[in-house]
A = this chain, B = another copy of it.
Amino acid sequence: MNDKSVRLGIIGFGAQGGVYAGFVAEGKVKGMSLGAICDIDPAKKRLAEEQHPGVAFYDDYIAMLDSGDVDAVVTTVPHYLHPEMTIAAIGKGIHTLTEKPAGVYTKQVEQMNEFAAAHPETTFAIMFNQRTNPVYTDLKDLIDSGELGRLRHTSWIITTWWRPQAYYDQSEWRATWGGEGGGVLVNQAPHQLDLWQWLAGTPQKVFAKLAFGFQRDIATEDEVNALVDFGDGATGHFLTSTSDIAGTDRLEMLFDAGKIVVDASTKVTITRLTQDERSISDSMSVADVGRLFKGEMNTADLFSTEVKEYESVWGAQHVDVLTNFAAHINDGTPLIADGAEGINGVRLASGMQLSAWTGREIDLVDFPAEEYLRELNQRIEAEGKYPTRS
């Protein structure tokens, strides 16, 4: 194993970039050291020199990529910039860990993915830190084992993203069409949009109801209730909001031979049927049905239930993703989240927005990327604060 230190460049020394720089500088990330920091804000230069004396600072990320100071970068910058910065970095042979979401619209993310695919020697990863949460890695292993069979339906109510008005008022670009490209679907919920598809698979269609500036003075969506179709009768439901103070986090997944319920991302209830549900159904007689209706059939004999409690680790595990990123560069350790997978969450979020804008169910397999971009640009133009996108 090659344990050379990957020198990381931080593009964007804001809250998140500052946290990552700290992790690396403190030696928490095996196989990685802090190579350089970049930010366009002069105030951040003073902060970087104070916190990380001796580490090179750049106000132009291209100059940092060309400096020879960094082997890899992380893009802790507004979402719209992720694809173009990733393309620039990979084009210069610099390994890239892009922040989530991968971008705002699928056209730009596809360009990024195509470019990265053409440069397989350069590592391309994405910061889906929740994929290292043991709650979800254990479920991923269970589902991938095939023990529970195929998915029948799923619902995720994830309203623990409460954000008061002052949060939105902090930044000009926050929850605008031109600056951020969306609301809760683009900023808060991408974690669950990724985890959900990682566990359940990618849906084929989506129909969604979004409310824009519903409970906050913002342009974008702060309330989402969506229905997806995985094909072959399997469906899903996704509900998120930024105005539920006593937020709910509840994931339910029904499979052919079992069921998973996750409460608060810490309590997992796994139901395992004694056999495939359809076989159980077929084995019942008319007399059994009579007993069922009289309450004399103990259906609990037909399954076992396991309850597992986990520590709350929400928002953590960035160190794990950074360490895995370095290990992949150094010795080819498989990535926790390949950068190319970031498009799934972007496509689903964009599909929900496009469905709400048009009133149509949206095809996610043959996604109307140009139509989405036209609709997005209309909103950016009406907003009048930022340039349209292409």
Task: Among B162, B223, B235, B273, point to the contact of A245 (Cβ < 8 A).
Answer: B273
- Report the minimum CB–CB distance from A295 to chain B (whole Å): 9
Question: Interface centre among A282, A289, A359, by most B CB within 10 Å?
Answer: A289
Cβ of A361 under 8 Å from chain B = yes
State whether A157 touches B159 (Cβ < 8 A).
no
Q: Which secondary structure dominates chain A's binding surface?
A: mixed
State whether B225 touches A227 (Cβ < 8 A).
yes
Q: How many copies of the polypeptide does the oligomer hold?
A: 2
Which of A43-51, A179-187, A210-218, A324-332 is near enough to bind chain B? A210-218
Q: A209-B229, A244-B254, A261-B248 are in contact. Are A166 and B237 (CB under 8 A)?
A: no
Cβ of A63 under 8 Å from chain B = no
State whether B259 touches A244 (Cβ < 8 A).
yes
Interface residues of A in 331-367 (CB under 8 A from B): 359, 361
State whether B261 touches A215 (Cβ < 8 A).
no
For A246, the chain B residues whose CB sits under 8 A away are: 259, 271, 299, 303, 305
Cβ of A252 under 8 Å from chain B = yes
Task: Among B167, B215, B252, point to the contact of A278 (Cβ < 8 A).
Answer: B215
Cβ of A86 under 8 Å from chain B = no
Cβ of A152 under 8 Å from chain B = yes
What are 21 A-B pairs with beta-carbon distances under 8 A? A152-B241, A152-B243, A153-B241, A155-B157, A159-B254, A164-B284, A166-B288, A166-B289, A170-B286, A208-B227, A211-B233, A214-B233, A215-B278, A223-B233, A225-B227, A225-B235, A243-B277, A243-B278, A244-B277, A245-B277, A245-B299
The 3 closest A-B pairs by CB, nearest first: A211-B233, A164-B284, A225-B235
Q: What 20 new A-B contacts, CB under 8 Å, besides A209-B235, A245-B303?
A: A152-B214, A152-B243, A153-B241, A159-B254, A162-B299, A164-B292, A167-B289, A211-B233, A211-B235, A225-B235, A226-B227, A237-B239, A243-B277, A243-B281, A244-B254, A245-B277, A245-B280, A246-B259, A250-B250, A359-B361
